[in-house]
Amino acid sequence: MTGERTERRPSEDEVTIALAQLEIEAGDVPGNVDRALAAISRAADRGVDLVALPELFTVGYFAFDLYERHAEPFAGETFTRLREAAADHDVAVLAGSIVEDLAATEAVPTPAEEGLANTAALFDSSGELELVYRKHHLFGYESAERELLVPGERLETADVGGFTVGVTTCYDLRFPELYRELVDAGAELICVPSAWPYPRIEHWETLSRARAIENQCYVATINGSGSFADATLLGRSSVYDPWGVAVASSGDEPTIVTTTIEPSRVESVREEFPALQDRRS
C-alpha cells in the first residue's frame, strides 16, 4: 500500500496511523511547520488515530549551521502549535523532532541543563503530552550532529488507541539494544522519525525490517523529502508488521502514508513464533 488512503478504521481493535513525509526546506521553519500542520489536518480528515512527523522537520537535519539560531524551548511555538493541532483535530501527533534549547526548557526532566537536543514529543488527541524522546545516538559520520547536540537519556512508552508506543530517531536504528529496551517496556509499535539520505537505501530498509522482525512488533519509519546542500533525503517512509512485512510504503516524494494496524497482531505473532521467550541474558 503506497501513498494516501482515505478509509476510516473499521474496528476498535485497529489503529490507523499516518506518516507525514514532508517536503523539508533548509531553514524555512515557518514554511516547514505550516506544511506539518496541513498534513495533520489532511490526515485527521481521513479518520486516522496518529500522525507522525519526520526528524528535525522544522530546520532540516542537514542545516547544521542553523541549529542554534532556530533552537526552541520545549514549550516554544512549534510544540505549542502541534499540541493545539492535536486537540483541534482530535488526533494524536508525534512531533517528529525539533532542535530543543535545553537551557530554556522547564518541567520536562533531562540530566543536561544546557545545550541543544534532537527532541520528539507525542501528544494525545486532547493535546496532552504523553512522551518525550531525545535522540540517544548522535551521528558523527559526515555530520556535525555529535558536535552540536547533547544525547538523550529517557526512554518512555505511551498508549495510543490500545497500542503501547515507543519512539527512537533515525541513527538509533543501528543500535538494536535500544529496541530491546523498548520491547521489554511493552512496546508494540515503535515510531522512528528520520532524515535518512541517499545513497543508503539498503541500510534504511534492512535495519527497519530487522528491528521489526527481531522484536516482533510494528516499526513505522517516518522520513522526510527534499534536498540540502550536501544530501538528499530518500523518503521511503514505511510500516513493517511483526513478521517484517512492509504493509505500507512510499517513494521519495512528499506524501502521507496511511495504514491500519492491530495490537492483536503483535500478540498473535509472538504466540505463534515465541522467539522472544528464548532470549538468554
In a domain, 4, yes or no: no
CATH code of the domain in which 141 resides? 3.60.110.10
In a domain, 97, yes or no: yes
Give the per-residue pLDDT at 215: 98
Q: Could you confirm whether 191 is annotated as catalytic? A: no
> Which residue type sits at 258?
T
Q: Which domain holds residue 39?
A: 15-274
In a domain, 3, yes or no: no
In a domain, 9, yes or no: no
Confidence of residue 12 (pLDDT cuts 50, 70, 90): low
Name the active-site residue from 14, 100, 135, 205: 135
Q: What is the pLDDT of residues 20-71, one digit of tens each?
A: 999 999 999 999 999 999 999 999 999 999 999 999 999 999 999 999 999 9
178 pLDDT exceeds 80? yes
Give the per-residue pLDDT at 141: 86
Q: What is the pLDDT of residues 212-269, one digit of tens each?
A: 999 999 999 999 999 998 899 999 999 999 999 999 999 999 999 999 999 999 999 9
Give the per-residue pLDDT at 3: 47
In a domain, 101, yes or no: yes
Model confidence, pTM: 0.93
Q: What is the pLDDT of residues 122-137, one digit of tens each?
A: 999 999 999 999 999 9
Grid cell 492535536 in the structure block, residue: 86
Strand partners, 239: 220, 248
Q: Could you confirm whether 170 is annotated as catalytic? A: yes
In a domain, 156, yes or no: yes
Name the active-site residue from 55, 188, 205, 262: 55
In a domain, 31, yes or no: yes
Q: What DSSP state is assigned to residue 110?
A: -
Q: How many domains does the chain have?
A: 1
Name the active-site residue from 100, 145, 170, 262: 170
Q: How far is CA 144 from CA 10, 72, 119, 148, 149, in A?
A: 45, 19, 16, 6, 9
In a domain, 279, yes or no: no
